[in-house]
């Protein structure tokens, strides 16, 4: 392919003039959050076809094929599959054709201060590839296929019928101290015994398992991959065994089970990124029962959004309800499952873009990050309403967050941030500490931006946070730890990757996870698929290395989920 050369000064001038109008996409490569926000979509580019639009530069079939593949891999995570805008700005033809080829090429090549990566200057795309991408986004976006009931039923498998499963635990595993570990790029999970630190079994799952969730009884482990495949694993079997599976869409992130008294293990819910919807399933077989679309109006602007993805889902302890975060529209849905044939839903407007979150220590208030708005929404699950919208740092990413008693301000819930080095502590006790409730009572400073998870435990005096996506290797390969009873002393740095003894790879340290007793903290040391990775176990009392788990089966370990802590929402 040949690229027509354009005056560089003109391109840069157009870029500077129009950046504020269009640019706000994936953060630049040097930004700690780029790897998180710019994730690829699992939509198969071959499934969406080719759309040609009047007024857009012509492309060959081969160029269309290349551009669609590149867009889904590098751009859809921020701009959306339909290019209507998400974390990044909209890239629909009415906007892109108006900006023109020269501007788009300059923007793609040089990036912007608003967060667009400099794909050309950084060597990510050639000049000809940039031309193709600038031309492609001037055509109307193709629409991926939907995924309805018949599609789900075609993928649904019951491998062991409920009536054929044991009625009691048939193995000698200490299930409360078992860990489900995501082997991200290997398409598996590893079940690791928390006492022996040995792998009990690896189980094939969907691609890039996002989370593991426990049923209310602690019997069933459910994992969901980014490819929207759910696997149900029976931990009571002679050895943990997959008993059911289903693919609930094309791309997904979240799964949860019913936990309200009288409904334990009755239902499973999963939320999709594409199509934008959630599905309620039978809790023992994963048979799909009810699919609900999340397309609708954005909070505030009241404009229609065709692609509001489902982020975190959590099970209410106050009502027979699932609490569902709808990312782009900024809505929290309280989905009541008492009668799923006549489903009732309470919709609470918060702020875009909702992502992850967890309970306060009472399990009444859902604390959820609206990370594009730099806020945490507080949802009262008992009264079914929003209690507060709290300003925090840049791009909050708490995971489930961390609950502890502050020496001065009483019970707090903490979040770290992708976009800056701060840790926001929010008061959560409106009865005994009303002046501090639902406010940031203190802001701590960690090592830097790029944090994905923060964690403590009721039996621990320490608060840990990773900095997985910080561009400084010394920071991304270590963790910060605060003493809760002496927060003013600042943090200590634990050299987790160094302790692991891993010789090559990125060695990014991710996700502190406690054991059941709360006296150990596990960290993943995450390198590439062909490189060695490890799990490092730290003694919580002494903050010293306790154990390193190395095994050729530990391929790209990321998230770790202790069965007891996940089952009982301990964090």
Residues serving a catalytic function are 75, 78-79, 116, 355, 397
Can you give the length of the chain in residues?
Answer: 571
- C-alpha 346/C-alpha 332 separation (Å) is 8
**CA angle centred on 539, ends 469 and 536, rounded to 5°:** 45
Which helix (H) or strand (E) segment is 535 a member of? strand 534-539
Q: Name, in order, each residue with C-beta under 8 angstroms of 346's C-beta and a sequence gap of 6 or more.
A: 333, 334, 336, 384
Instruction: Give the position of tokens 């239902």.
Output: 267
- What are residue 470's phi and psi, to 5 degrees? -70, 140
- What are residue 464's phi and psi, to 5 degrees? -110, 145
- C-alpha 537/C-alpha 545 separation (Å) is 6
**Helical residues (DSSP H) of 255-347, grouped into ranges:** none
> Do 183 and 190 form a contact (C-beta atoms < 8 A)?
yes
**Helical residues (DSSP H) of 138-255, grouped into ranges:** 149-155
Which candidate, 458, 482, 453, places its Cα nearest to that of 469? Answer: 453
Q: What is the CA radius of gyration of the chain?
A: 23
Which helix (H) or strand (E) segment is 106 a member of? helix 101-110
Query: DSSP secondary-structure letter at 437?
Result: B
Q: Which two tokens stand for residue 533?
A: 């990775």
Which candidate, 45, 59, 75, places its Cα nearest to that of 143? Answer: 45
Q: Which two tokens stand for residue 162?
A: 């409920």
365-370/375-380 β-pairing? antiparallel
Instruction: Give the position of tokens 């692609």.
Output: 307
Looking at the DSSP bridge assignments, the partners of residue 378 are 367, 388
Query: DSSP secondary-structure letter at 301?
Result: T
> Do 335 and 326 form a contact (C-beta atoms < 8 A)?
no
- The CA-to-CA distance between both ends of the chain, in Å, stands at 54
> Do 320 and 339 form a contact (C-beta atoms < 8 A)?
no
- C-alpha 448/C-alpha 418 separation (Å) is 9
Sheet with 288-293: strands ordered across: 251-257, 267-274, 277-282, 288-293
């Amino acid at each position: 392919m040949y690229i027509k050369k354009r005056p560089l000064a003109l391109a840069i001038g157009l870029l500077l003039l129009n950046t504020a109008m269009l640019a706000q996409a994936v953060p630049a490569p040097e930004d700690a959050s780029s790897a998180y926000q710019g994730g690829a979509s699992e939509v198969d580019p071959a499934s969406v076809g080719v759309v040609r639009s009047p007024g857009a530069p012509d492309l060959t079939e081969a160029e269309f094929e290349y551009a669609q593949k590149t867009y889904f891999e590098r751009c859809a995570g921020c701009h959306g599959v339909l290019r209507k805008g998400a974390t990044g700005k909209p890239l629909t033809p009415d906007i892109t054709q108006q900006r023109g080829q020269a501007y788009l090429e300059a923007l793609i090549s040089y990036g912007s201060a608003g967060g667009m990566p400099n794909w050309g200057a950084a060597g990510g795309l050639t000049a000809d590839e940039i031309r193709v991408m600038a031309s492609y986004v001037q055509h109307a976006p193709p629409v991926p296929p939907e995924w309805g009931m018949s599609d789900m039923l075609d993928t649904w498998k019951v491998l062991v019928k409920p009536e054929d499963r044991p009625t009691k635990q048939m193995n000698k595993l200490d299930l409360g101290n078992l860990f489900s570990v995501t082997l991200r790029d290997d398409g598996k999970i590893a079940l690791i015994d928390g006492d022996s630190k040995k792998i009990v079994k690896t189980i094939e799952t969907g691609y890039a398992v996002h989370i593991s969730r426990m049923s209310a009884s602690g019997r069933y482990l459910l994992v969901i991959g980014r490819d929207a495949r759910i696997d149900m694993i029976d931990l009571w079997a002679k050895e943990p065994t997959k008993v059911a599976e289903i693919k609930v869409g094309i791309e997904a992130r979240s799964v949860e089970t019913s936990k309200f008294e009288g409904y334990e293990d009755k239902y499973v819910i999963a939320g999709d990124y594409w199509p934008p919807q959630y599905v309620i399933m039978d809790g023992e077989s994963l048979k799909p029962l009810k699919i609900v679309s999340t397309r609708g109006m954005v909070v505030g602007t009241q404009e229609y959004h065709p692609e509001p993805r489902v982020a975190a889902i959590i099970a209410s302890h106050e009502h027979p309800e699932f609490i569902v975060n709808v990312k782009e529209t900024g809505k929290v849905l309280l989905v009541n499952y008492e009668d799923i044939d006549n489903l009732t839903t309470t919709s609470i407007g918060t702020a875009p873009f909702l992502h992850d979150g967890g309970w306060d220590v009472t399990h009444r208030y859902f604390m959820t990050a609206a990370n594009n708005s730099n806020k945490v929404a507080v949802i009262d699950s008992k009264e079914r309403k929003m209690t507060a919208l709290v300003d925090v740092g840049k791009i909050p990413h708490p995971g489930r967050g961390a609950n502890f008693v502050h020496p001065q301000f009483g019970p707090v819930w903490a979040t770290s941030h992708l976009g800056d080095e701060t840790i926001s502590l929010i008061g959560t006790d409106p009865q005994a500490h009303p002046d501090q409730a639902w406010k940031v009572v203190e802001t701590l400073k960690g090592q830097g931006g790029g944090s994905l998870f923060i964690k403590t435990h009721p039996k621990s005096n320490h608060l840990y946070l990773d900095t997985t996506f910080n561009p400084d290797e010394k920071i991304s390969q270590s963790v910060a730890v605060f003493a809760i009873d002496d927060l003013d002393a600042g943090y200590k740095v634990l050299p987790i990757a160094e302790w692991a003894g891993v010789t090559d790879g990125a060695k990014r340290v991710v996700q502190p996870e406690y054991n059941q007793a709360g006296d150990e903290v596990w960290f993943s040391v995450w390198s590439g698929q062909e490189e060695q990775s490890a799990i490092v176990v730290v003694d919580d009392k002494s903050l010293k290395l306790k154990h390193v788990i190395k095994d050729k089966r530990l391929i790209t370990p990321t998230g770790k989920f202790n069965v007891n802590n996940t089952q009982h929402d301990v964090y």
